[in-house]
Amino acid sequence: MAVNAIHVVTGVAGGLGYAALIGLPARRVGARRGPVVTALSSCGQRSLTCYLLQSVVFVALLPPYTAGLGGRLGPAATAALALLTWAGIVVMAELMRRTGARGPAETLLRRLTYARG
């Protein structure tokens, strides 16, 4: 409840603040390329695919007109579901990087953008 109140009060400015708080340490960590940083980078390189997949998972599981878990799970369980979804997507993106595969959404967007007339 408190997090929601903070969001309502801070709005976009709070979101920009969170992005800055994450960006500052990320810049320092980015200089050291370990397996976790590489996997997160793989997710960023396929960000549209990862975002759409996350959205599909949440739409399939949370609303009452689908699996309806949103009404049955508490805040901690919903956060755990979100974290597990995100971790699974990061692993998928890293596997795609290792096989040299581009994200399907990025590939489709390129084809639509650079269509030959």
How does pLDDT run across 51-85, given as a tens digit for each residue? Answer: 999 999 999 999 999 999 999 999 999 999 999 99
Nearest-5° Cα angle at 87, 24 to 54? 95
Residues 64 and 9 in one domain: no
Residues 60 and 109 in one domain: yes
Which structure tokens are listed for 24?
Answer: 């500052």
Cα atoms found within 13 Å of the Cα of residue 89, Cβ hemisphere only? 24
Q: What are phi and psi of 41, to 5 degrees?
A: -65, -40
Q: How many domains does the chain have?
A: 2
Is residue 9 over pLDDT 90?
Answer: no
Is residue 114 over pLDDT 80?
Answer: yes
Residues 97 and 49 in one domain: yes
What is the extent of the structural domain holding 12? 1-32
Distances in Å between the Cα of 94 and the Cα atoms of 9, 36, 54, 56 are: 37, 10, 16, 19
What pLDDT does 52 receive? 97
pTM for this predicted structure: 0.74
